Structure 1
Amino acid sequence: MEQENHQPSNERDKDAVLISRRRTVKAIGGGLAALGVAYLTGCTPSTRNTMTESVRTPNPTNGYPIVKIAELSSLKIDQPISFEYPLRGQVNLLIDLGKKVENGIGPSNSIVAYNQSCQHMGCPATYNSERKTLFCPCHQTTYDPSFHGTVVVGQGKAALPRIELKIENDSIYAIGVKGLIYGYRNNLLDGEYV
């Protein structure tokens, strides 16, 4: 039985094989370049955003969306309001601590907001109204919302990201984030805007 020889039989066939390889490499390179451009311009499925009115008019000083989160008149002392910002799934707490705090807003400068994701492993921290702290039940990290969201005790190594707020009329707006939200390389990438 004769073995088939897959080697080019003449110089012309040899060039045909090389051109085929060359075209394949160029096609792969072109495809990778197109994917790179799509990624950088935000056209990949994982980063495509559904634009809301708040995103179309980002905060000119930091690029974050400006989003209404609550009415000042509806906020009660030590009763946090949960909201997503700046992306869906990034859960935060708006809290009126009932006393003046640094970076607080409102009539008594007592209103603050922090991202809920513990800076140790991302478990959700909850507000303890008796102690006026944010507590992560996974590894018992405690944060102080009256002092920049800093760690009081526990495994967390950084303060909770603070949501920047402003008040217009009776409305409270989220206008930015100070600090990196756990699990994100950039607070505004890899998600859908609220």
Structure 2
Amino acid sequence: MISRGRFIRLGAALGSGAAAGALLTACGGAGSSAGAQKGGSSTKKTIAKAANVPPGSAVKFTDAGQPAVLIHLKSGRFVAYSAVCTHMGCTVAYQKSSGDLVCPCHGSIYDPAHGAKVLRGPAPRPLPKIPVKIERGEIVEV
């Protein structure tokens, strides 16, 4: 038997994945199939074309099968984090108006410009960082 909390998290993850797929398809498929590229001896996952992610916006993607988010900060830097809240595992969302990542379940707020540190709990720790870099105009996981 599955617990109520696990059922809710599973539903949220599936819903987020479906929404992200629809969004990426509508936006021309930037990063939609992960566009794995060979870079020397390692394979790098393409998340999005840098030109398709304006400053102050975000793109959802998956990292090892888990929800993740790429953010183009207003400062011009690109950062990426796990989108799984460190409190109860709900999927956080980017709030364009504030530039923060917000958990819809219990109200935790993270600051992506400062290592996804917790601005307001109950989350106990920052979101895990996903290293990214720009290569040939594309944002790729390192």
Whether these two folds match at TM > 0.5 is: yes
Unaligned runs of 5+ in 1: 1-51, 60-64, 100-107, 176-194
Residue 73 (structure 1) aligned with residue 51 (structure 2): yes
Give 1:154 shift: 1.1
**Identity score, percent:** 31
Query: What root-mean-square deviation, in Å, do the aligned CA atoms of Structure 1 and Structure 2 show?
Result: 2.1
In the alignment, the residues of structure 1 paired with residue 58 and residue 36 of structure 2 have an alpha-carbon distance, to the nearest angstrom, of: 25
Matched length: 107
Structure 2's unaligned 5+ residue stretches are: 1-34
SS in 2 for 1:124: coil
1:79 deviates by 2.3
Residue 131 (structure 2) pairs with residue 153 (structure 1): no
SS at 1:73 equivalent: helix
Cα separation, 1, equivalents of 2:104 and 2:41: 35
* Distance in 1 of aligned mates of 2:56 and 2:111: 13
Whether the 8 Å CA contact 2:130–2:141 is kept in 1: the answer is yes
User: Which has the larger Rg?
Assistant: 1
CA–CA separation in structure 2 for the residues paired with 1:81 and 1:53: 17
Structure 2 distance, partners of 1:153, 1:53, is: 36
Q: What is the TM-score when the length of structure 1 is the normalising length?
A: 0.51
Q: What is aligned with 2:69?
A: 93
Higher strand share: 2
State the Cα distance separating 1:128 from its structure 2 match: 0.9
CA distance in 1 between counterparts of 2:112 and 2:41 reads 26
TM-score, normalised with respect to structure 2: 0.68
| DSSP 3-state at the match of 2:134 | strand
2:70 and 2:79 in contact (8 A); partners too: yes
